Chain A
Amino acid sequence: MRTRANDLVCRAAIELMSDYIEGSLSRRDRRRLERHLAGCPDCSRYLEQMRLTIDASGSVSPDELAPEALDDLVEIFRAFRREDGD
């Protein structure tokens, strides 16, 4: 494959990937990245893993709350209810 002057190298390609996923790349950069991806299985894999990571982030369930922290808050809630009832 003939390389062109504005072809991306892998190091530069991965810098564009988050914005690519966000849909916020300029049309020119998007084309450059897509051209690179078409010929680069490693960067395609990186992109796929970036997508997977983002998907997984959306499925992260809330951290287990320390029982004391939840108990404290529930105590506050009960105190509030009592005040409210007064």
Chain B
Amino acid sequence: MDDAQLLHRLLGGDERAFRELVTRYHSSLVRTARYYVNSDASAEDVAQDTWIAVLRGVSNFEGRSSFKTWLLRILVNRARTTGSREHRAVPFDPTNAESVTDGRFNQNGGWSEPPAPFTDAIDDGIANERVIALVRVAISHLPSPQQAVVTLRDVEGLSTAEVAELLELSEANVRVILHRGRARVRNEVEKELYGGAT
């Protein structure tokens, strides 16, 4: 069932529809909130408040944007308020892309330790369950700006422009953070598949 159908049922008071929406989006809400607030517990609280706001506001939802975008906007507004109350400085990206693979090139910039094949991770050309599970864990280990950006862009499928608007970053910045996050996720998958080869 798609979001619009669930929303329709939610308006009619259907508890199962609410459960389904929570199950679908709660973890992305928490990950995105974590970008703004000081702790995991605080991110949980913001996500919970967001669902309360959804229940309050759902009858006014006009469907001009998708439910997902509407939901994430509510979350970001709340997370931002909570973050500023906590005097949290929104983190800049502390990692440097090259540090992920730095030791793997020779001094001429060619691979000294080339990427190991992901043979076990692919069935008929697509990612199998094992790699999907590894990717999920790797995303949850990303540092906070990368985690929010990779979650919104690659897990939730928002466009780069939407991510930039939502997080109030430039698109160029989103692309840099995205690149670093993706490189890190790829590396962690490789490490897991090859038992710490990197």
Contacts and interface: CB of A to CB of B under 8 A. Distances in A.
Interface of A: 9-12, 14-15, 17-19, 22, 24, 42-43, 45-46, 49-50, 52-63, 65, 69-70, 72-74, 76-78, 80-81, 84
B15 A52 contact: no
30 contacts: A9-B105, A9-B108, A10-B111, A12-B109, A15-B97, A18-B182, A22-B160, A24-B160, A43-B111, A46-B186, A49-B186, A52-B121, A52-B126, A53-B189, A55-B126, A55-B127, A56-B131, A60-B139, A60-B155, A63-B136, A65-B27, A69-B44, A70-B26, A72-B48, A73-B18, A73-B26, A73-B48, A76-B52, A77-B18, A77-B55
B185 A62 contact: no
Interface size class of B (residues with CB under 8 A): 35 or more
Q: Give the secondary structure class of B's interface.
A: helix
A9 B135 contact: no
Contacts of B115: 42, 45-46, 49
Interface in B157-188: 157, 160, 175, 178-179, 182-183, 185-186
B13 interface: yes
B140 interface: yes
Contacts of B190: 49
A45 B155 contact: no
Given A45-B115, A54-B182, A60-B155, 5 more contacts: A11-B101, A15-B97, A45-B114, A49-B115, A59-B132
**Among A45, A73, A81, residue most surrounded by chain B Cβ atoms (within 10 Å):** A73
B127 A18 contact: no
Contacts of B28: 62
B35 to A, nearest CB: 17
B2 interface: no
B24 A62 contact: yes
Contacts of A72: 48
Contacts of B22: 65, 70, 73
Contacts of B44: 69
Interface in B6-20: 13, 15, 18-19
B179 A52 contact: no
A11 B105 contact: yes
Contacts of A45: 114-115, 117
Contact of B135 (A10, A60, A74, A84): A60
B48 A53 contact: no
